[in-house]
């Protein structure tokens, strides 16, 4: 079946420094869309980024990600993190069956 792997369960970064959250995937489908969702404490997950185009960078709220089908990856990056970026981040894929599968999530903690 489809799977999404987020290798880091917890990432701690100092404010102002860059960060990359890893996301790799496995799927037998070729027509697939990819997402990053962010969840703040006691809130619902909400969409941060999405893409279905290979090798095209997508950006939102200072974060960016590029889908690389050659390496089955959709890593999330930010060049300068802020304290307010502290949250739980999920990578997800959606196949053309419509099913949305999430990784285990990465907790990002930004320290002053």
Partner 1 sequence: NAGVIQTPRHKVTGKGQEATLWCEPISGHSAVFWYRQTIVQGLEFLTYFRNQAPIDDSGMPKERFSAQMPNQSHSTLKIQSTQPQDSAVYLCASSLAGRGNTEVFFGKGTRLTVV
Instruction: Catalog residues that contact partner 1 under the rule CB under 8 A.
Output: 1, 33-35, 43-47, 50-52, 90, 94-105
Q: Give the span between the Cα atoms of 109 and 112, in whole angstroms.
A: 10
Tokens 């869309």 belong to residue = 33
30 vs 112 by CB, closer to partner 1:
30
Q: How far is the CB of 66 from partner 1 (least distance, A)?
A: 15
DSSP β-ladder status, 57-60 and 63-66 = antiparallel
66 vs 95 by CB, closer to partner 1:
95
Q: How far is the CB of 102 from partner 1 (least distance, A)?
A: 4
Q: Give the span between the Cα atoms of 76 and 64, in whole angstroms.
A: 6
Q: How far is the CB of 47 from partner 1 (least distance, A)?
A: 5
Tokens of 79: 């060049």
């Amino acid at each position: 079946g489809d799977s999404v792997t987020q290798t880091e369960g917890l990432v701690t970064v100092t404010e102002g420094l860059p960060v990359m959250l890893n996301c790799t995937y496995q799927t037998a489908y070729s027509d697939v869309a990819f997402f990053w969702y962010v969840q703040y404490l006691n809130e619902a997950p909400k969409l941060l980024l999405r893409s279905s185009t290979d090798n095209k960078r997508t950006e939102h709220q200072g974060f960016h990600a590029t889908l690389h089908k050659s390496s089955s990856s959709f890593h999330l990056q930010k060049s300068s993190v802020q304290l307010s970026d502290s949250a739980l981040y999920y990578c997800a894929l959606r196949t053309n069956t419509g099913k949305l599968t999430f990784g285990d999530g990465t907790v990002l903690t930004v320290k002053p």
